[in-house]
Amino acid sequence: MRLKEKYEKIVVPEMMKKFAFKNKLQVPRLEKVVLNVGFGKMVSQRTREEAQKIINTIVEDLKMISGQKP
């Protein structure tokens, strides 16, 4: 089940019951998700090749987490 489907089918009805919301538009929802990675210290003391390898690894990890290319 995708996150949006789970939110609409499970989370919204449960929150409406728990907080006595009368309208499903009253239920809080996510507006955006921000991913941030700081890697300056990791690459500053490295050679160019090592730094590039670290950066590529970080980019691949962010791709897996977000489903988008950063």
> What does the longest C-alpha to C-alpha distance in the chain come to?
60
Local confidence pLDDT in tens for the 70 residues of the chain: 788 899 999 999 999 999 999 999 999 988 888 999 998 888 888 899 999 999 999 999 999 998 888 7
- Say what the pTM is: 0.61
d(CA 33, CA 39): 20
47's tokens: 């050679």
